[in-house]
Amino acid sequence: MSGFWAKVGAKISQFLYWTLESHPGKLFGTSIGFLLGLLMVTLGFWRTLVLALFAVLGFVLGKRQDDHKDISTWFEKHFNKF
């Protein structure tokens, strides 16, 4: 029986590698859509929305850090309105 599952695992790995090489946007979009749908069902709309907003904020701040840009200027630009 373990040989069967090893073959199934190998086929799934091969398919995922092919999908990632040939259709990365479709794989990413489908994965995000599935994850958001699952979160909506388990957490509800508003909690999922807050979680998604924090994820986007974390991505933006992480990207700025990766690009060696100062994070404090971003905070001052967006939150120093008063």
pLDDT in tens, 63-74: 888 888 777 777
> What integer pLDDT is reported at residue 75 of this predicted model?
73
> What integer pLDDT is reported at residue 14 of this predicted model?
95
**What's the pLDDT band for 81 if we cut at 50, 70, 90?**
low
Phi-psi label, residue 40: left if phi above 0, alpha if psi -120 to 50, beta otherwise? alpha
Domain ranges of the chain: 1-43, 44-82
The torsion defined by the Cα of 46, 47, 48 and 49, in degrees rounded to 10, comes to 50
pLDDT in tens, 19-44: 889 988 888 888 888 999 999 999 99
Q: Which residues contact 57 (CB under 8 A, 6 or more apart)?
A: none
Question: pTM of this prediction?
Answer: 0.59
> What integer pLDDT is reported at residue 8 of this predicted model?
94
